[in-house]
Amino acid sequence: MTGYAKTAMLMAAMTALFMGIGYLLGGGAGLILALALAAGMNAYSYWNSDKAVLRMHNAQECNSQVHPDLQRMVHRLADDAGMPHPRVYVIDEDQPNAFATGRNPENAGVAATTGLLRRMSREEVAAVMAHELAHIRNYDTLIMTVTATFAGAISMLANFAMFFRGGRNGGGNVIAVILVMILAPLAAAVVQMAISRSREYEADRVGAEICGNPLWLAAALEKIQGFASRIDFDRAERNPQTAHMFIINPLHVHKRDKLFSTHPNTENRIAALVRLAESSGQAGVSRVQSGPWS
- Which residues are known to be catalytic? 132
Given strand 87-91, what is the order of strands in its sheet? 60-61, 87-91, 107-113, 98-104
Q: Which residues pair with 101 in a beta bridge?
A: 109
DSSP class of residue 254 equals: S
Distance CA 25, CA 176 (A): 6
Residue closest to 133 by CA, chosen among 154, 109, 156, 155: 109
Backbone angles phi, psi at 93, to 5 degrees: -140, 140
Q: Which residues pair with 112 in a beta bridge?
A: 90, 98
For 142, what's the count of Cα atoms within 13 Å in the CB-facing half-sphere?
Answer: 22
| Helix (H), strand (E) at residue 91 | strand 87-91
Task: Report DSSP letters for 12-68, one per residue.
Answer: HHHHHHHHHHHHHHHHHHHHHHHHHHHHHHHHHHHHHHHHHHHHHTT-EE--SSSSH
DSSP class of residue 112 equals: E
Distance CA 49, CA 144 (A): 9
Distance CA 14, CA 154 (A): 9
